[in-house]
């Protein structure tokens, strides 16, 4: 994401706030971060964390990342979508994921795509959009991102990155970086 001081950053699926806190530190607590989450109790976690860390540029809001808020159209320099996913990249830490029904992916794909497509509407011209998951599922990763690129000519692919879990306990995850033309 590489936020800079003075940027406006949206974190679409923020709770408990770690990504927003990191962005605020990189921004030297200068700029604005809107941190959205679907559930009020999770938004409260983000607010409490920001207060504890002395971060005052985060505005945590209850919001469905799939629902467009026109007042924020093309308002952000950077937008992060760390979407709900199957979690297959963190099986080492959460072995119970092995027992998830693989059909869950079919239910997640439209949600993931809708979050990404909606978040794209908030990115300024010349801005950056990041999509991330903690899964290694190609359908949830490259599949969602390729569909997005096919439907959004004003965005270009900067990179797709898959991190494979390590034997030492590292997690697997994926992130894609897009630029708005």
Q: Is 120 exposed, middle or buried (0-12, 13-18, 19+ CB in 10 A)?
A: buried
Active-site annotation holder among 13, 46, 134, 145? 134
In contact, 124 and 180? CB cutoff 8 Å: yes
Whole-angstrom CA distances from 142 to 16, 33, 97, 108, 155 are: 26, 27, 21, 14, 15
d(CA 93, CA 56): 32
The verdict on whether 66 is a catalytic residue reads no
3-state secondary structure at position 20: helix
Percent helix / strand / coil, the chain, rounded to 5: 35, 30, 35
- Residue 113 tokens, joined: 């795509």
Query: Rounded to whole angstroms, how far apart are CA atoms 65 and 85?
Result: 14
* Residue with token string 């991330």: 132
Which residues are known to be catalytic? 134
């Amino acid at each position: 994401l590489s936020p800079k001081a003075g940027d406006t950053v949206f974190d679409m699926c923020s709770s408990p706030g770690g990504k927003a806190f990191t962005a605020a530190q990189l921004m030297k607590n200068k700029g604005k971060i809107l941190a959205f989450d679907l559930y009020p109790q999770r938004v409260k976690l983000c607010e409490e964390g920001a207060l504890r860390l002395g971060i005052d540029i985060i505005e945590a809001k209850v919001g469905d990342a799939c629902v467009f808020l026109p007042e924020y159209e093309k308002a952000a320099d950077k937008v992060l979508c760390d979407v709900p996913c199957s979690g297959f990249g963190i099986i080492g830490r959460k072995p119970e994921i092995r027992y998830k029904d693989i059909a869950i992916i079919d239910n997640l794909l439209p949600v993931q795509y809708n979050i990404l497509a909606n978040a794209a509407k908030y990115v300024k011209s010349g801005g950056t959009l990041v999509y991330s998951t903690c899964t290694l599922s190609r359908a949830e990763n490259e599949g969602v991102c390729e569909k997005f690129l096919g439907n959004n000519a004003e965005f270009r692919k900067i990179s797709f990155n898959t991190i494979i879990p390590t034997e030492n306990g590292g997690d697997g995850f994926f992130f894609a970086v897009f630029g708005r033309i």
